[in-house]
Amino acid sequence: MYRRQIVITHYRKKCIGCGVCASIAPHTWEMDDEDGKANLFEGIPNREVVNARITADVLKDNTEAADQCPEGIIQISQ
């Protein structure tokens, strides 16, 4: 059975810490107590971005989080 790979890319350095992603998709995001920016659970830093794989069951919430991000710094690729 083929499982499509879904990846979230977060441009964390540009994060303003508004918390929209964490409020919409708390199973994938949390706010960092130290710098106030969003952290992507199980995110892997890669130069200027943080990447994480997600499953299809959380795709809808994360798509909404990406759409609602005021800075447009969350991308989802399938």
Residue-wise pLDDT for 12-54, tens only, equals 999 999 999 999 999 999 999 999 999 999 999 999 999 999 9
Token output for 22? 């964490």
**Gap between the Cα atoms of 18 and 16, Å rounded:** 6
Domains of the chain and CATH, by start: 6-77 (3.30.70.20)
Report residue 1's pLDDT band, with 50, 70 and 90 as the boundaries: low
So what's the pLDDT on residue 51? Answer: 97
So what's the pLDDT on residue 75? Answer: 98
Q: pTM (2 decimals)?
A: 0.91
Question: What one-character DSSP code corresponds to residue 26?
Answer: T
